[in-house]
């Protein structure tokens, strides 16, 4: 057996452990009774340690070195590169830290579910402090080895090669033009149709609508399912993708758009290269690329007037309280721009402000420039600066609204806006390369769109770097110009 073959067997075993962890984690957030949280957290921590110990064995490093000289083809070399990246990332951490992080994250996330409902910042802060302390320890270990700031070391886990310096340039440019654009869009909007707040949209009807829309988006129900959770997410594995949303009987669009968003994640997972299943090359390229697919579905496609024409009959058929909803009213509601407190409900114009706010806070937090106790005041200050809204005393809809920090996912938030930029660039390239795709969307034919995504993004997994993947698909690396142009065209008609 060659060194490379031995590595593929080892990473296949690691993939199976990830499979178990993913499904157990999904169950923890959807089906598991509250009383099972401690034991489940311990079990998931045990899986994390087992995965870590297998990955960082001395023989893994030796096999990686030997395999470099075995005459591998391009795909095998790409797989070997990703193996080495996973090994390096894991080898920087002791098993004790891996276990401690998993346990602290599980405790914090489970407690957060009720603490957010109760607006209990003090209780949440007590659980978040150890999560942040452990994240700082991890960041320091990684930064000492890899260079750069502690925050950059965590950012690299989600978006390989990205740095806060580059983000500061991208987001700095964004903050120069976004506030004025947001004001202009809000001022230009027509008045909304009469309020429908007294209407009731039963959850069962919303679920039926969600299933119908997922079918239209070609979600494979033989390899996935839709459930309810406190925070919408996509989890599981490519052969068993689990997505969730949350429902509000007073309105249906937030749940529906959440489903479209998560279906974008799911379609990417379901179309990753199956011939490399179980190997690192078969994984999604990066978090921003993953977010680009969900935002391609939700923002570029799902909120377009063309797509909404086909969505409108499904809404009227499935929701009794929406039978008199006109297409024009639907488009106005879906494309409504109004700064709000909740990130996941934000329109695509104001959404980047939510991301930049979180990025600035978590970067300062991991770099030990602020403490957990400083978060609420900073959050309120930045909400007022970027969106003109206050969250003073409202922790539920302020700094406690997201699940990400509860398990130590620092470095994740910037990928949402990077993903929005990639999505706009990809959609523009698709229209240029096959103009018929946009016409097809208006008639309900989404096959050209999905075929283009599969050819240019989905089938490649992690074969290429982010820059190379986007360069091949669009002819250039990340160019925020296309995001600005998209917003101006949709909301200002320029």
Ramachandran region, residue 313 (left: φ > 0; alpha: ψ -120 to 50; beta: rest): alpha
Helices (H), 298-409: 305-318, 327-334, 351-366, 375-387
Tokens read off for 434: 């096959």
The CA distance from 275 to 277, in Å, is 6
Long-range contacts of 89-93 (CB under 8 A, 24+ apart): 89/142, 89/157, 90/52, 90/55, 90/56, 91/55, 91/56, 91/61, 92/141, 92/142, 92/145, 92/146, 93/52, 93/138, 93/141
CB 365 within 8 A of CB 154: no
Q: Which of 262, 291, 298, 360 is catalytic?
A: 262
CB 344 within 8 A of CB 351: no
Single out the residue of 27, 43, 36, 28 nearest to residue 102, CA to CA: 43
Helix and strand element counts for the chain (H, E): 20, 3
Active site residue 262: yes
The CA distance from 430 to 428, in Å, is 5
Q: Which H/E stretch holds residue 209? A: helix 203-216
Tokens read off for 10: 């080892």
Single out the residue of 458, 461, 338 nearest to residue 388, CA to CA: 338
Q: How many CB atoms lie within 10 A of CB 429?
A: 18
CB 403 within 8 A of CB 231: yes
For 280, half-sphere exposure in the C-beta direction (CA atoms, 13 angstrom radius) is 20
Token pair 């000492």: residue: 144
Token pair 């870590």: residue: 52
Tokens read off for 54: 């297998």
Catalytic residues, which ones? Answer: 262
């Amino acid at each position: 057996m060659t060194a490379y073959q031995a590595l593929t067997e080892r990473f296949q075993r690691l993939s199976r452990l990830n499979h178990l962890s993913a499904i157990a984690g999904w169950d923890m957030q959807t089906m598991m009774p509250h009383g099972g949280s401690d034991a489940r957290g311990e079990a998931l921590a045990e899986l994390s340690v087992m995965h870590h110990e297998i990955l960082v064995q001395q023989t893994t490093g030796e096999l990686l070195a030997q395999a470099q000289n075995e005459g591998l083809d391009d795909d095998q070399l790409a797989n070997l590169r990703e193996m080495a990246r996973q090994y390096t990332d894991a080898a920087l951490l002791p098993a004790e830290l891996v276990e401690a992080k998993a346990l602290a994250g599980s405790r914090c996330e489970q407690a957060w579910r009720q603490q957010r409902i109760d607006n209990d910042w003090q209780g949440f802060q007590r659980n978040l402090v150890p999560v942040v302390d452990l994240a700082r320890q991890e960041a320091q270990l990684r930064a000492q080895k890899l260079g750069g700031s502690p925050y950059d070391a965590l950012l690299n886990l989600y978006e390989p090669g990205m740095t806060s310096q580059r983000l500061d340039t991208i987001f700095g440019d964004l903050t120069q033009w976004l506030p004025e654009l947001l004001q202009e869009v809000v001022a230009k909007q027509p008045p909304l149709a009469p309020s429908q707040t007294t209407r009731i949209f039963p959850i069962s009807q919303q679920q039926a609508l969600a299933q119908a829309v997922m079918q239209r988006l070609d979600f494979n129900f033989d390899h996935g399912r839709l459930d309810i959770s406190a925070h919408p997410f996509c989890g599981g594995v490519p052969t068993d993708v689990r997505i969730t949303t949350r429902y509000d009987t007073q309105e249906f669009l937030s749940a529906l758009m959440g489903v479209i968003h998560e279906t974008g994640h799911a379609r990417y997972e379901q179309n990753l290269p199956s011939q490399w299943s179980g190997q690192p090359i078969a994984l999604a390229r990066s978090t921003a690329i993953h977010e680009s697919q969900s935002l391609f579905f939700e923002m570029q496609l799902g909120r377009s007037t063309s797509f909404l024409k086909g969505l409108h009959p499904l809404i009227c058929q499935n929701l009794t309280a929406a039978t008199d909803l006109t297409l024009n009213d639907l488009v106005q509601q879906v494309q409504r721009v109004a700064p709000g407190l909740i990130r996941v409900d934000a329109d695509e114009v104001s959404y980047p402000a939510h991301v930049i706010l979180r990025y600035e806070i978590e970067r300062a937090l991991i770099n030990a420039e602020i403490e957990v106790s400083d978060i609420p005041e900073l959050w309120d200050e930045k909400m007022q600066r970027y969106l003109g809204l206050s969250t003073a005393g409202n922790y539920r809809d302020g700094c406690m609204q997201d699940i990400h920090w509860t398990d130590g996912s620092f470095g994740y938030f910037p990928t949402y806006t990077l993903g929005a930029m990639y999505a706009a660039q990809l959609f523009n390239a698709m229209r240029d390369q096959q103009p018929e795709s946009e016409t097809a969307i208006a008639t309900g034919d989404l096959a050209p769109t999905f075929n283009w995504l599969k050819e240019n993004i989905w089938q490649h997994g992690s074969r290429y770097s982010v820059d190379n993947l986007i360069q091949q698909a669009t002819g250039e690396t990340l160019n925020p110009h296309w995001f600005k142009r998209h917003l101006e065209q949709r909301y200002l008609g320029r």
